[in-house]
Amino acid sequence: MRSLLPAFLAALTLAADPLPTFDVFPGKPPGETLTMKEGQDPHGTRTPGHRGNVFAPELTPWPAARPGSPIILICPGGGYSGLADGHEGDEVAKRLNAYGCGAVILRYRVPRRDPLRPWVVPLIDARASLEIVRAHAKEWNADPTKVGILGFSAGGNLAARAAYSPADGTVPRPDFAMMIYPAYLFEKDQPDSVLRDGPDGVVPPKGTKPVPAFFAHSADDRIPAEGSMALAAKLKSLGGSAEVHVWAKGGHGWGATDRCEAAKVWTETLRAWLVDQKLLAPL
């Protein structure tokens, strides 16, 4: 794949600094089923590049440098048990910002509130966050009609659910969605499994045109790339558009690092897709 490093370096002037982090909900978040221990920080326990035990979901905006830019809600992964908010959060926001995108990192509630349906509470957080991002888009130099969601692993599952899962038609939806090695799309994380369907599934209901989708995965990932390909095919069958990129090697969880070729170039590939979708101006 041709390197876009010169374009990336030229775009660094577009990078900005993040704004202060703030809570998604002004009071107790809805749907909470766990109780914090006395003296516990509601924003979670912090170690370098990781967050755990989040009770108060929060957002960190990275405004775009130019008005009218797309803005992307970032959902780090972590198996719905923690958040890899370093290489799947801050570092991703920096890359997107450098390409001229606004970004907002969502630190949703973890660990799992429901072992069998761990996405329920995070989805509440994501939908509320999409409303906030759209409402503040112009303030953050973004276009409120170009609000996307981007997730990694469990966060990719969350992004897919926010964009496509069956729900009341009034729930907030993004205008485009990006899933990076998304987990739990299949009923079982096996290459020959089938997509989760029905009320708790990731398959959009018939009669609704899915928003454009972008997928990135590694063929040797323990979470099968076939899940990304299957959901992309389903979205296309329903009248949507989907682009899938699968690298031969890389494993799982590479994020915005230099760990493998996929980790180095997937954001360049995503930038080209955003330009092709007329969401982002060419450099």
Cα 283 to Cα 280: distance, rounded to the nearest angstrom? 9
Q: Which pLDDT belongs to residue 10?
A: 43
Q: Which pLDDT belongs to residue 12?
A: 45
Calculate the average pLDDT of the chain: 94
Q: Which of 233, 223, 248, 170 is nearest to 202 (CA)?
A: 233
What is the sign of the dihedral through the CA atoms of 87, 226, 215 and 266?
A: positive
**Domain definitions of the chain by residue range:** 43-276
What is the SS3 assignment for 50?
strand
Q: What is the mean pLDDT of residues 246-273?
A: 97
Per DSSP, what are the bridge partners of residue 216?
A: 180, 245
- The backbone torsions φ and ψ at residue 271, rounded to the nearest 5 degrees and listed phi first, read -60, -45
Q: How many CB atoms sit inside 10 A of residue 136's CB?
A: 18
Q: How confident is the model at residue 15 (pLDDT cuts 50, 70, 90)?
A: low
| 2 compared with 104, residue with greater pLDDT | 104
Q: What class is the 43-276 domain?
A: alpha beta
Express each pLDDT in 169-197 by its tens digit. 889 999 999 999 999 999 999 999 999 99
Question: For residues 90 and 107, is the Cβ–Cβ distance under 8 A?
Answer: no
pLDDT above 50 for 81 = yes
| 15 compared with 121, residue with greater pLDDT | 121
Interior CA angle at 85 toward 137 and 181, to 5°?
90
Mind giving me the DSSP string for 149-184?
Answer: EEEETHHHHHHHHHHHS---TTS---SEEEEES--S
Distances (CA, A) of 168 to 210, 280, 282: 15, 30, 36
Express each pLDDT in 120-173 by its tens digit. 999 999 999 999 999 999 999 999 999 999 999 999 999 999 999 988 888 999
Q: What is the mean pLDDT of residues 218-247?
A: 98
Q: Which pLDDT belongs to residue 5?
A: 44
Q: Which of 87, 90, 89, 83 is nearest to 50 (CA)?
A: 83
Percent of the chain with pLDDT over 70: 94
Q: pTM to 2 decimals?
A: 0.94
Q: Which pLDDT belongs to residue 192?
A: 96
Which tokens is 31 given?
């749907």
